[in-house]
Structure 1
Amino acid sequence: MKNKKPTSKIILFSLWMLLSFSFLNAQKHQVVFKDSLDGAFDLSDFLIYANGFIVVPTIITEPAVGGFGGAVAPIFLKKRAPVIEEDGTKRFVNPDITGGIGMYTANKSWMGGAFRSSTLVKPKILYRVFAAYGDMNLSFYANNLPNQADQEFKLNFKSTIFYTQWLKQFKNAKWSAGPQYLFLNSKINLPDFNLPPPFVDPKDIKSTISQLGGAVQFDGRDNIFTPDKGIRVQADFFWSDKALGSDYQAWRINLSTIGYYPLAKKLIGGLRIEGEQALGSPPFYLKPGINLRGIPAARYMGNTSIVAEGELRWDVYRRWSVMGFGGLASAFDDWDKAFAKPVVYSYGSGFRYLLARKFKLRMGVDIAKGPEDWAYYIVFGSNWMR
């Protein structure tokens, strides 16, 4: 308690210095919050000239972490100028994205972290770095008996996470490949159960994951935030082994395709197909799961997951758009029982506002319904942003 006031003063002073620098720099470029083309509210110039940032607030309705909570992610964007190659071709460079995240939910789950996505322009290397610590209370499910409802188990995770990926662009800059690495140290607290979770191995209670892998990517989207056209395809894998300092010996293979196509002048269609396969003996919490709007995290898991989702964006009026989406997915342990359980579905709608035209950045809200619950999402860029 003695350090509370000094800490608060340091935080307030840091924020004041940051904002002062931003606005002083903005004055040199006469930054306004209206777009020069349509006069609408726009943050493009502020982000470009004032080292400005967007604070992305999110209401968390995820049932796996208590059903309600909040998260704040201050995100700094820096626009990068295109590069003219020796052969005269123009290479577009993605904006730098730097930010943090803090979250707290109704079941006392919390997490804090930081991330950066950027490009080393001369060597043509795309890199991502993420680090976080969390104290999370999560729900996992098991079906112990046939013809009965899945049983819920609430577990507490204290975890340290570090992830990084480095992709070298080829001569055709849409293609890239390189290594990636994941470190995860977790301690799981098990409440007293009448029936212990059947999926928890004793070594899962306190474990270290160290995974080395690689990725190959083709990215032909017209922008990384809210694309209007183009396709992104990625194949990647992770290898976990005692030689890497991991407590587990396992493989994980992922395939992902996301594409956008203008169906009409103001109608954009999107399709996402993803599959994930686990081999060996991974911990239960790193098995493939279903990632769909409206589906609780960790609700459906197995050694294999397959997800297909489509969406439509209708640019109704000026900067405002209406969304519609739906998806199907399945998670299972054995391919011969791939569809033994019903396929999981979700659907929903939402809206977007073109917040920064020069970045093609839209933000908005989605409302989704799965088999059990409703969920709400504040979307920065795109729900499929990768």
Structure 2
Amino acid sequence: MNHNNIILSLMQKHLLIVLFFLCFTSTFAQEKTSDTTKNVQPQKKNIDFNVMPYISYNRTLDFMFGAIPMMMYKTNKADTISPKSLSGITAIYTTNKSYFVCSFNKWHFNEDKWRAQLFAMAGNQNAQFFMDDFDSSGFYDYGTQTFLVSVSALRKIVKSFYGGIGYSYAHYDTTYQEDIQPASVSHTNGLQMILLYDTRDAVYYPTKGSKIRARWITYPEWFDDVNANKIISEYNTYISVRDKKDVVAARFAGKFGLGNISFEQQVTIGNDDIRGYSEGKYRGDGLMAIQGEYRYNFHKRMGVVGFAGVATIYGSDTPSFDWKLYPGAGVGYRYRAFKNEKFNVGLDGAVGKGDWGLYFRIGEAF
């Protein structure tokens, strides 16, 4: 049995266990709710646990399905100021034979004076990219086996202002259809300097305030085979028009690649900013995007969103794509994943310039 079949077999076994556990816990919860003969007040749990199914579709990856077990908890029960921390695992398989297993963690410590994150991913992505040369133009398939881990820590300096450092390691093994480009095996070590200004009233579902974050990521030549830098900036702001019913959110994002940016390090419209692009056509060394979103809660555990935005890129392998405007707009559905915390999962549908996409969300888009 080859490596891919072993991983797929393990994922299928874990999914069966997760689905069985989900059915069991759902039945137990229903039985517990229906028992009205007991008047004992349940103790408030420190850990909220849930398993969400993952079902989506992408024009590049095709149908995607999997499971997301996750939990929210206090790192210290006596800490009434820190938001709850979040940990989870995502296991996804696609019908174009891609697979991903991810672990995501966000921690808040010591009355929110410290914040830390840990993300790890292993998988194989079978995707496509667009290439325009003198002989022909079109989409070409490629496959990348990836292992990635990223860790960061922030310390509050003054009220609402944080500073910190981070480190990321990535290993890529990429092959291309018809040898349109040479196969490559590479790794990167990124050192990060992070600044954050955060006045949001909640980290998972803000209704007012702003978040400004800037990251400088360097891939130094003494640490890597290439010498490159990235500047990643974002500004998010939130306003509630009707108390506890809706939120108007706006975002500007800038991702600037400097130096020898590799194919795997490039940014693609549709991955993080400006939904509606799933073909992987518009990619380059840098990206700028602005967008807005309206979030309406029609039920205590359900809501809908509408969004629109526009992006531009530079440093594309197809120069005619540089500095053009790429709009996107769509709608989505949200469901509150935890009873005691406003944290949503959902599904978005969006259209872009000659493209469209479906997006399963863990948390809000921004």
For residues 175-212 of structure 1, what are the alpha-carbon distances to aligned partners after superposition, in whole Å with 9 as ceiling and x for unaligned? Answer: 1111111111111122324xx24xxxx5x701111111
Quick one: which amino acid aligns to residue 57 of structure 2?
T
- The answer to whether the 8 Å contact 1:325/1:347 transfers is yes
For residues 109-156 of structure 1, what are the alpha-carbon distances to aligned partners after superposition, in whole Å with 9 as ceiling and x for unaligned? Answer: 11213222112327932111111211111211223259x8x5212111
Cα distance in 1 between the residues matched to 2:129 and 2:268: 11
Aligned match of 1:346: 328
Does 1:306 pair with 2:288? yes
Aligned match of 2:196: 217
For the aligned residue pairs, the C-alpha RMSD in angstroms reads: 3.7
Aligned match of 1:56: 52
Give the paired residue count: 344
Aligned match of 2:169: 183
Aligned match of 1:41: none
Quick one: which amino acid aligns to residue 275 of structure 2?
R
Worse-matched range after superposition: 337-346 or 208-217: 337-346
Offset of residue 274 of structure 1: 0.2
Evaluate the alpha carbon distance shift between residue 93 and residue 184 of structure 1 in structure 2; reply closer, same or farther with a 3 A threshold. same
Equivalent position to 1:151, from 138, 145, 152: 138
Offset of residue 382 of structure 1: 0.8
- The answer to whether the 8 Å contact 1:60/1:105 transfers is no
Evaluate the alpha carbon distance shift between residue 154 and residue 166 of structure 1 in structure 2; reply closer, same or farther with a 3 A threshold. same
Worse-matched range after superposition: 48-57 or 271-280: 48-57
Offset of residue 82 of structure 1: 8.9
Equivalent position to 2:233, from 255, 272, 279: 255
Aligned match of 1:115: 104
Question: SS where residue 192 of structure 1 aligns?
Answer: helix
Equivalent position to 2:215, from 236, 248, 259: 236
Question: SS where residue 49 of structure 1 aligns?
Answer: coil
Aligned match of 2:246: 267
Offset of residue 325 of structure 1: 0.6
Quick one: which amino acid aligns to residue 219 of structure 1?
D
Question: SS where residue 268 of structure 2 aligns?
Answer: coil
Offset of residue 317 of structure 1: 4.7
- Alignment TM-score, normalising by the size of structure 2: 0.81
Does 1:360 pair with 2:342? yes
For residues 149-184 of structure 1, what are the alpha-carbon distances to aligned partners after superposition, in whole Å with 9 as ceiling and x for unaligned? Answer: x52121111111111111111231x21111111111
Aligned match of 1:87: none
Greater share of residues in strand = 2
Evaluate the alpha carbon distance shift between residue 359 and residue 307 of structure 1 in structure 2; reply closer, same or farther with a 3 A threshold. same
Aligned match of 1:77: 72
Aligned match of 1:40: none
- Alignment TM-score, normalising by the size of structure 1: 0.77
Amino-acid identity (%): 22
Quick one: which amino acid aligns to residue 128 of structure 2?
S
Cα distance in 2 between the residues matched to 1:208 and 1:299: 24
For residues 226-271 of structure 1, what are the alpha-carbon distances to aligned partners after superposition, in whole Å with 9 as ceiling and x for unaligned? Answer: 2211111101011112322x22100000110111101344332110
- The answer to whether the 8 Å contact 1:59/1:376 transfers is no
Offset of residue 50 of structure 1: 6.7
Aligned match of 1:161: 148
Cα distance in 2 between the residues matched to 1:96 and 1:187: 33
Offset of residue 357 of structure 1: 5.5
Cα distance in 2 between the residues matched to 1:152 and 1:255: 30
Evaluate the alpha carbon distance shift between residue 115 and residue 314 of structure 1 in structure 2; reply closer, same or farther with a 3 A threshold. closer
Evaluate the alpha carbon distance shift between residue 213 and residue 11 of structure 1 in structure 2; reply closer, same or farther with a 3 A threshold. closer
Equivalent position to 1:99, from 68, 88, 93: 88
Quick one: which amino acid aligns to residue 252 of structure 1?
K
- The answer to whether the 8 Å contact 2:52/2:69 transfers is yes
Evaluate the alpha carbon distance shift between residue 69 and residue 319 of structure 1 in structure 2; reply closer, same or farther with a 3 A threshold. closer
Evaluate the alpha carbon distance shift between residue 241 and residue 226 of structure 1 in structure 2; reply closer, same or farther with a 3 A threshold. same
Structure 2 unaligned blocks of 5 or more: 35-41
Please show how residues 19-58 of structure 1 align to structure 2 within 5 Å: 49=45, 51-58=47-54
Does 1:141 pair with 2:130? yes
Structure 1 unaligned blocks of 5 or more: 35-44, 85-90
- The answer to whether the 8 Å contact 1:331/1:338 transfers is no
Please show how residues 279-358 of structure 1 align to structure 2 within 5 Å: 279-290=258-269, 291-296=273-278, 298-333=280-315, 342-356=324-338, 358=340
Worse-matched range after superposition: 184-193 or 235-244: 184-193
Offset of residue 329 of structure 1: 0.5
Question: SS where residue 107 of structure 1 aligns?
Answer: coil
Offset of residue 328 of structure 1: 0.4
Worse-matched range after superposition: 353-362 or 131-140: 353-362
Cα distance in 2 between the residues matched to 1:353 and 1:181: 33
